[in-house]
Amino acid sequence: MTTIEGSENMSVKIEHGEDILTAYLSGEIDHHSAKAMREEIDMAAGQAKPKSLILDFSAVGFMDSSGIGLVMGRYKFMRDIGGTVTVQNPSVPIKKVMRLAGLDRIAKFKELQIK
């Protein structure tokens, strides 16, 4: 697993399994943090060439329009290599913003049952 700590406000941890790359995002996603997250995810996905990229938002407390751009850019990246994107565990407010932006038309949404 790779971890990038951009600041005390954000981080991304990446796990690679068979044909699946999962990026666990945490903290705040804004124009300051999104660039480092994008670069780390793109580098890992470029090396692994997964069939599926999962962006886990369960630990994201705040997201501005940079988060929309992060998802859209990863969608284009994965589309170009023949893969898909899944947004996993977004909070209710973040999910609402994503749906208003139309991300549910380009990415799958998945919520895990946490016990």
Helix (H, G, I), strand (E, B), or coil: what is residue 105? helix
The CATH number covering residue 56 comes to 3.30.750.24
Task: Report the domain count for the chain.
Answer: 1
- The per-residue pLDDT for 115 is 45
Task: Determine the Cα angle at 102 with ends 64 and 92, to 5°.
Answer: 55
The model's pLDDT over 12-48, given as tens digits with 9 standing for 90+, comes to 999 999 899 999 999 999 998 999 999 999 999 999 9
Containing domain of residue 33, as a range? 2-110
Q: What is the mean pLDDT of residues 41-61?
A: 96
* 82 in a structural domain: yes
Over residues 58-62, the mean pLDDT reads 95
Average pLDDT (101-114) is 88
Mean pLDDT of 70-84: 96
pLDDT at 9: 60
